[in-house]
Amino acid sequence: MSAESYPEMSFEARMGTVDFRIHERPHITLDDRKCVDCSVRGCITACPANLFVPTADGGILFNYEQCFECGTCYMVCNEEGAITWTYPDGGHGVVFHRS
Amino acid sequence: MPDVDVIVVGAGPAGAAAALEAARAGRSVVLIERGPFPGSKNMYGGVVYGRILDDLVPQWWEQMPIQRWVTRRQTMILTDDQALTVDYRTENWGRPPYNGATTFRPDFDAWFAERAVDAGANLINSTTVTGLLRDGNRVVGVRTDRPDGDLTAHVVIACDGVNSFLAKEAGLYHHDGAENYTLGVKETIALPRDVIDERFNVRGDHGVDIEMLGASPDVPGGGFLYTNAESLAVGLVLSLPALAASGLRPEERIAQLKAHPAIAPLVEGGEVKEYSAHVIPEAGFDMMPELIADGLLVAGDAAAMCLAAGIWLEGVNFAIGSGAAAGRAAAVAVRHGDTSATGLEGYRARLESSFVLADHRKLRDAPHLVMSDLAQQRLPALACGVVEQLFTVGNPVPKPGLRRIVRGEMKRNGVKLRDAAAQGWRALRTFG
C-alpha cells in the first residue's frame, strides 16, 4: 500500500470540509514546558486534526480552533498536567454535517 | 424540592432513550445537549441496528432517517496486495423489520431526540454541563455554562459520551487507560447514486457494509467502508497507544487504505465531503465503570457500552438499550422516593436481563482476541497465503494438499500450532 499512488488533498483542504463554530475561549490548553521532557509526544502523531505541531526549541505549538473534541490528546499524553481539557462552551466547537 | 425529576446529560442515542422512557413514565425530564442540535458532535462508521427501537418507536423504519438498508455484508481480510472477502447478501434485511441501516448521526440523533421531546422531555441545546452538584456523596444536579445554570434533580443520567467527565468526576471509572480506547477516523466521500449502485452491486435503498481486518497493518484496529445514499464512509479504527507510537498519522493511514488495490476502485473519483473523528471505548465489559451511584446512572458510551467484538461492531443499539433501561429505572426510583444507589439498582437488573450486559459479558474476551497480534498481523497474511496457494495453478507441479499449504503458511508467518490452537479455542469459547 503506498500513499503516493493516490492523489491526496492537502491537510488544510481536509480540515476545510469540517464545520467549526469557534468560541473565543480555548477549551484545551497546553503547557508545553512539560513536553520538552516527553519522549513519546504521541499527540503529534495521533491528533486527527493535527493540532499539535513540534517547534524548533523542543516545545509543541497547539491551537484549539479546529478540534474534533475527541479526547485522543489527553488520553495518549505522557506528561501529567501538560494538557488541560474541557468541552467548548455550549453551541460551539465542531458541528458535523447533516445529510 | 429539586427543579425536575430527571436530568439527562447528552442527547445522543443513550440520552434520548433515557429521556424518552423517563418522560413516558410521567417524570419531568430535562435533556441537556452541548451541541447546537442533537447529533452535531457525534460520529461513527456507521450502521444503526434498529430492532432495539421496536418498543420505543412503533414502526420506526417508516420514519427513521436512513441512507441505505444494509442487505450486503462483507468481511475483508487484507494484506498489502491481497484481499480475502466473505460476502453475504439477503433480501430479508431489505424489508421490515430490517436489520442494519446506514445513517448520518446528526440526522439520526436529532430525529430520535425529537421522540423524547414528543414524550414530554424538555430538550435544551447549546448547553455544556461543566460538573456535578453534590450534597455529600449524593449527586443532586448539574452545573452548566449558562448564567445561573445550576439545575437540580432526583436523578442525573450521564450519557455524556466516551469521555464522560461526569462518571470520572463521580469516581466511577477505574479502567480508563488509553489502551482501552481506539480512535475512529472517517472520510465521507461523495459519489453519484448510480455509481454507488453499480460499484457495489445494489439497487434502490439497499447498501453495503464492509468490515476489514489488516487495513492498517502496524496498528491494531480495523477498517470500514459503508454506502450512504450518495456517499461512501471510509475509515479506520486505531488503537490509541499504538497509533501514538507509530509515527504515521490517521489521515495518512486512510490514504493508504484508499490506495489498496481492493479498495481504490470502489472510492476513486469521489470527493471528500467531510473528514471526522471520534474516540471509541473499545475494551467492552472489562473497562466498564461502576454504573450506579447515589442519584447518578451512567449509560451509552459514557459507560463504555460500545461492542467492538470483531465480527460484531455495534454501539448505537447498546446506547439505546442502556439509556432506555436507565430512564425506566430512574422513573421507578423517583416514584418510590428512593434514588440512592440502592433505589437505583433496578438499572443493573434491567441491563443484566437484556442483551446489553448479556452480550458484553459473553463477549468480554472478544476485543482482546480481535486486537491481538495473532489476529491483526499474522492471520491476514496466513489466510490470504493459504487461499492464494490453493487457487494458484502451478503446473506442471501437481496441486499440493491443503494440509501442506496450511502448515507451510503457518511456518512462513511464524504461527505456532500450539498458539493457533489456544487462540482458536479461546475464540470458540467466546463466539461459540
In this predicted model, what pLDDT tens digit does every residue of B117-175 receive, in sequence order? 999 999 999 999 999 999 999 999 999 999 999 999 999 999 999 999 999 999 999 99
pLDDT of residue B377: 87
**Beta strand B68-78 pairing with B100-102:** antiparallel
- Residues of A at the B interface (Cβ-Cβ below 8 Å)? 1-3, 5-6, 8-9, 11, 14-15, 17-18, 21, 40, 42-43, 45-46, 48-50, 68-72, 75-76, 86-91, 93-99
The contacts of residue B43 (CB under 8 Å, 6+ apart) are: A68, A96, B105, B184, B186, B276, B277, B278
What is the chain A residue with the closest CA to B186? Answer: A48
pLDDT of residue B350: 98
Cell digits of residue B204: 434502490
Closest by CA to B23, choosing from B393, B408, B417, B324, is B324
**Beta strand A19-21 pairing with A93-95:** antiparallel
**The architecture CATH gives domain B4-65+103-175+286-363:** 3-Layer(bba) Sandwich (3.50)
Q: In terms of DSSP H, where are the helices of B151-226?
A: 165-169, 193-200
CB-based contact B321:B307 (threshold 8 Å)? no
Q: Do B240 and A46 touch (CB under 8 A)?
A: yes
Provide ipTM, 2 decimals.
Answer: 0.96
Give the domain ranges of chain A. 3-95
Confidence of residue A5 (pLDDT cuts 50, 70, 90): very low
B356-399, pLDDT tens digit by residue? 999 999 999 999 999 998 999 899 999 999 999 999 999 999 99
DSSP B163: T
pLDDT of residue A1: 46
Residue A7 has pLDDT above 80, yes or no: no
CATH code for B179-281? 3.30.9.90
CATH code for A3-95? 3.30.70.20
Considering only CA atoms, give the Rg of chain B: 23
Nearest-angstrom CA–CA distance, B353 and B375: 31
pLDDT of residue B257: 97
**CB count, 10 Å around CB of A60?**
20
Chain-wide mean pLDDT for chain A? 92
- Sequential DSSP letters for B339-385: -STTTTTHHHHHHHTSHHHHHHHHTTTHHHHHTSHIIIIIHHHHHHH
B146 CB neighbours in chain A (<8 A) are 90
DSSP B156: E
B282-324, pLDDT tens digit by residue? 999 999 999 999 999 999 999 999 999 888 999 999 999 999 9
Give the domain ranges of chain B. 4-65+103-175+286-363, 179-281, 372-431
> Can you give the length of chain B in residues?
432
pLDDT of residue B84: 98
